[in-house]
Structure 1
Amino acid sequence: MPRSVMVLGAGMVGVSVALHLRRRGCDVVLVDRQGPGEGASFGNGGLIQREAVYPHPFPRALGELMRIARNQAIDVHYHPLALPGFVSPLLRYWWNSEPERYLRAVLAYSRLIATCVDEHLALARNADAMALLRPIGWMRLYGTAKALEAAAAQAEAAQRDYGINHRLLDGRALAAAEPHLLVTRAGAIHWTDPLSVSDPHALTLAYAGMFTGEGGTLATGDAATLARAGSGWRVQTADGPVEAESAVIALGAASARITRSLGYAPPTFGKRGYHMHYTLQGNAVLHTPFIDVDSGFLLAPMRAGIRLTTGAEFAREDADPSPIQLERAEPVARGLLPLAERVEDKPWMGTRPCTPDMLPIIGPIPAQQGLWAAFGHAHQGLTLGPTTGRLLADMITGAAPFLDPTPYAPARF
């Protein structure tokens, strides 16, 4: 068991890793260029997605591929000049989405996500953050009876195979549950197990506050300065160099940039996303987050207002923000809910760190003693942060892992 560990990256995953390590008696320094939760953990749908046992596969139906190729969709947008850089990881993503391979990914993913709600609750109770976690689930809305029937069959399978709970709402029940919807839909699947987070940034800050309150240290520094220091690791911070016996890379989409210089180059790729908050007209309310399947984006009630989150944008890492998806989504969203003014002057943008086999990278980095990975969580960094923190802390401290970490091992790439 190392006496000292530095964790690079103060998003939900990094904060959770640092907190679990500190609770096992390690001296832990959490290093980031920004404050806790100011990266991709700041902008997301705010859902602890217990139901998300099925990771997003690469589309394989020709019609769906043609729809995306036209580059006019709300849920997917790409920069044509950026596509050459995505060819290799996306081909591997397509290969891993073959039905039999995808089912293997689902099995591994379902085991990792099974305890996500319990892991968050265990931290939130001690962090005085329970008020941020709302046990209201979220909904998927369907425009036709045929689509709703197919979704209901899938939901029944998820309940049978993975213990995922849901309610089936017909159009009348949906209208009663959300009386300020401006459209009529055939019905909805209400996933009842997930938690809805009213302020994801505040939740990360609460966990970070618990970390420092229990003796952990926050430092401002640049992960690009990570280097060997004898048998351990060193990184430069605003207060000078920090050394530790072990280091954890939990930098989300930026992680591979750091590991590549150390001989480990997983084929990760980033999906950019945007969000904007809106007020509602008059006395209108939204009770439950929802995705209207025909529209392709999430609307969620947050502290700051109604958050509209976009789908996936594929762009070069250094490309300027191009909130085309938000511009496409906003008028559609105004047809779903009586949205009023934008809360912010400009949309937030962040990048989701993805892997071609749809599983995060958690464990020891090959050929680098004392170097560990905790990244590649795609859309589920908020959901899986505490679970990843517990699992990696088990491995680093030599405890028996509470679940088999083999499917997530860095050595698979």
Structure 2
Amino acid sequence: MPRSAIVLGAGMVGVSVALHLRRRGYDVALVDRREPGEGASFGNGGLIQREAVFPHPFPRGVGEIGRVARNRSIDVRYHPLAMPGVMAPLLRYWWHSEPARYAAAVEGHAALIRTCLDEHLALARGTEAMALLRPIGWMRLYSSTPMLEAALAQAEQARREYDVNFVALDGAALAEAEPHLLAARAGAIHWTDPLSVSDPHALTLAYAGFFRAEGGAFRIGDAATLRRAGSGWTVRTAEGEVEAAEVVIALGAAAGEVTRPLGYAPPLFGKRGYHMHYGLRGNAVLHRPILDTESGFLLAPMRAGIRLTTGAEFARPGAPPTPVQLEQAEPVARGLLPLGERVEGMPWMGVRPCTPDMLPVIGRLPGQVGAWCAFGHAHQGLTLGPTTGRMLAEMMTGEQPFVSPEAYRAERFLRRGMAA
């Protein structure tokens, strides 16, 4: 008889897992409280980031930590009342960002990142989804020559060690490449490998459409109702109970709410982010996404307009939106690009699921037969969804995973048999 699985979470990661399992003959029910792609996969910079071999480390310099602690910057904000709840994982994040430990994180991260283009193209090629994937890369802008030179040194390392490609631009070349910029910058790095997605939500919906067309079932349901059912699992949906032999927890920042009752409490923490779309005045054009390093925001041309995305905000789970960063970023962005009116009435907000060691959790759920993890991708859920989907499906079917799963095992967050 065919094997069966419930996949909890219909973001890019969960959809990709469900699709890969279905293509390996599983009966799959994809379950989410909302339609596919309406969580964190909806709002992001829209980049398949082949260049992102270096994950974001915790600041180590006293000056940088002091800047963040003042809680006035665009790239990082925090709610003071949230800090007790995230202090323990943030301290571990700081610990893992020590240079030797960070090097291990880079190796684990890069092993996944180097596969991302091939895995997305394997799903999209020959389908309508290809029209969403633009081979234009993106640019990171620098306001000073020393900042640019330091970034180029790391870019050279990425090219030398991880086959990442880029082009260095001075101020004049940047102005020629993006002639409608209103402010001068010292230069930029044009990362040429990444794919720019014109509508990230549409891409997730496209992959979900492939899953449904190939016989997969999507159900609106509540992951919190997950329970053992004999040797398998059951979850309640709007169409009744769904049972399967195996379950995959791909719930992003909410994964801990489901794994904790099952005896596994990974030190996940969430980074909230916001975005808003704008028109452009006159005949202005933005040819590719640009990230202004000094200000910490990204401007990306999307179907809906120019998307302005913010950095990270730390808040208590369920706290109402506080788009202070977006309010700070907008006037700076208007000084960089001739933005027109806002397209939406309210900004979008989502939560990125992060782990202290900067690596996702992919593999078996400790102590629970037939349960699997696929969460904790931080800023790279869109990038690494298909990679994770293939890798986990190969593990579940007993194939040799095309990426070694050792660095992403859930057990790394266990200590003396207890969840750390």
Q: What TM-score bracket applies, with the shorter chain setting the length?
A: over 0.9
Q: Which runs of 5+ in 1 are unaligned?
A: none
Partner of 1:4: 4
| 1:39 corresponding residue in structure 2 | 39
CA shift at 1:74, angstroms?
Answer: 0.2
CA contact (8 A) 1:297 1:310 kept: yes
Distance in 2 (CA, whole Å) between partners of 1:152 and 1:106 is: 18
- For the residues of structure 1 that align with 2:59 and 2:260, how far apart are their CA atoms? 29
CA–CA distance in structure 1, aligned partners of residues 398 and 128 of structure 2: 30
> What SS does the corresponding residue of 1:362 show, helix, strand or coil?
strand
Instruction: Answer yes or no: is 1:63 the counterpart of 2:63.
Output: yes
Partner of 1:251: 251
SS in 2 for 1:341: strand
Partners of 1:31 and 1:313 in 2: how far apart? 28
- 1:126 deviation in Å? 4.5
Find the counterpart in structure 2 of residue 374 from structure 1: 374
Partner in structure 1 of residue 185 of structure 2:
185
Does the alignment pair 1:75 with 2:75? Answer: yes
Residues 1:207 and 2:212 are matched in the alignment = no
2:138 and 2:313 map into 1 onto residues whose CA distance is 23
Residue number in structure 2 paired with 1:364: 364
Corresponding residue for residue 264 of structure 1:
264
Contact 1:127/1:209 (<8 A) preserved: no
Q: What does residue range 114-263 of structure 1 map to in structure 2 within 5 Å?
A: 114-263=114-263
1:392 aligns with 392
Partner-residue secondary structure (3-state), 2:125: helix
Residue of structure 1 in register with 2:316 after alignment: 316
User: In structure 1, what residue type is equivalent to 2:203?
Assistant: L
Q: Aligned-residue CA RMSD in angstroms?
A: 0.8
Aligned to 1:30: 30
TM-score, normalised via structure 1 length = 0.99
Deviations 1:109-151 (A, max 9, x none): 1011111011001101254210100000001101111111111
> Which residue number in structure 1 is paired with residue 50 of structure 2?
50
SS at the partner of 2:29?
strand
State the 1:375 CA deviation. 0.2
CA–CA separation in structure 2 for the residues paired with 1:51 and 1:306: 22
5+ residue gaps, structure 2: 414-420
Moved over 2 A (4+): none
Amino acid at match of 1:344: E
Within the alignment, does 1:101 sit opposite 2:97 as a pair?
no
Corresponding residue of 1:355: 355
Contact persistence 1:253–1:351 (CA under 8 A): yes
8 A Cα contact 1:2 1:396, kept in partner:
no
SS state at 1:299 partner: strand
Equivalent residue number for residue 89 of structure 1: 89
1:2 Cα offset (Å) = 6.8
Q: Secondary structure at the match of 1:389?
A: helix
The answer (yes or no) to whether the contact 1:271–1:312 under 8 Å persists in 2 is yes
Name 1:411's counterpart in structure 2. 411
Equivalent position SS for 1:60: coil
Aligned twin of 2:416: none
Distance 2:280 2:126 in 1: 34
CA contact (8 A) 2:9 2:251 kept: yes
Q: Normalising by the residue count of structure 2, what TM-score does the alignment of the two structures yield?
A: 0.98
Amino acid at match of 2:389: G
User: SS at the partner of 2:128?
Assistant: coil
**Equivalent-residue separation in structure 2 for 1:126 and 1:27 (angstroms):** 25
Q: Secondary structure at the match of 1:261?
A: helix
Counterpart CA distance in 1 for 2:92 and 2:305 is: 38
- Contact 2:2–2:25 (CA under 8 A) maintained in structure 1: no
